[in-house]
Amino acid sequence: MDQIQHKFVDVRGGLKLHLADIGSGPNAVVFLHGFPEIWYTWRHQMIAVANAGFRAIAPDYRGYGLSDTPAEPEKASFADLNADLLAILDALELDKVFLIGKDFGARPTYLFAIFHPERVLGVVSIGVPYKPPGPSTYHKYLPEGFYISRWREPGRAEADFGRFDAKTVVRNIYILFSRSEIPIAAANQEIMDLVDPSTPLPPWFTEEDLAAYGALYEKSGFRNTLQVPYRSIYDCCRKCPVPALQNAPSC
């Protein structure tokens, strides 16, 4: 990974966002991570894309990885991610890019393509289908012990995660997310209790990977990462401007 360069871009709020950058092709691919991920998630894909003749860029969202955390993380929203992405493209003087979003990273991928179609060459999403911007009610039908339901509750995840160091929290989440069943805790359990300490890491996630993630989450903490996506996922368009597109879905 030595060939991957690391840069910082100034965005609104006086924050510096970190991004990884490799390649020099005429077209650029921007990779948007999910949770509990960071730019590092895309390292292999970035090298492959660069070898195929593209420029590959993977930012850390505000409050993630090596990027600065906003002063008031509880006010962060998906609108910030879209504004930050626009600032990154402007700073790098990229007119149009391909966007690839995984997990909740698919949401800013879709929204950016809606609000800034003139800056997008194409969109790829992994794990989350497109849903038009607007009110959502499906969370009302999820069980109380569902991990998203728990992590949306202010203070609960902080207390749950706070029993462990950041590396252990990331370890437990990757083990949970690698299973076929959805993480749902019983009334007398917390989400972290669903992982036995003796459970090995999934075979595709090494101790070296865990150390990289753990070190960066030790820096950032989980305050901002709980706000975006989990505590703003259902009102992610509330702060968005109305798209200036004919027949486009509006917030």
pLDDT at 22: 98
Judge contact between 21 and 5, C-beta under 8 A: yes
How many other C-beta atoms are found inside a 10 Å radius of the C-beta of residue 144?
Answer: 11
Judge contact between 164 and 192, C-beta under 8 A: yes
Judge contact between 39 and 8, C-beta under 8 A: no
All structural domains of the chain with their residue ranges: 5-235
Measured CA to CA, the distance from residue 17 to residue 64 in angstroms comes to: 9
Instruction: Kindly report the CATH number that applies to the domain delimited by 5-235.
Output: 3.40.50.1820
Q: How confident is the model over 63-85, as a mean pLDDT? A: 94
pLDDT band for position 132 (50/70/90)?
confident
pLDDT at 249: 42
pLDDT at 247: 44
Token pair, residue 130, equals: 């497109």
CA 244 to chain centre: 26
State yes or no: pLDDT of 147 exceeds 50: yes
Judge contact between 54 and 22, C-beta under 8 A: no
pTM summary value: 0.91
State yes or no: pLDDT of 2 exceeds 70: yes
CA–CA distances in Å: residue 42 to residues 140, 195, 219: 33, 26, 20
| Residues paired with residue 28 on neighbouring β-strands, in sequence order | 55, 97
Question: Helix-strand-coil percent breakdown of the chain, rounded to 5?
Answer: 45, 15, 40
pLDDT at 211: 97
pLDDT at 245: 45
- When the pLDDT of each residue in the chain is averaged and rounded to a whole number, the result is 91
Using DSSP's 3-state secondary structure scheme, residue 23 falls into coil
pLDDT at 202: 96
pLDDT band for position 248 (50/70/90)?
very low
Q: The sheet that has 15-22: what strands, in order across it?
A: 5-11, 15-22, 55-59, 28-32, 97-102, 120-126
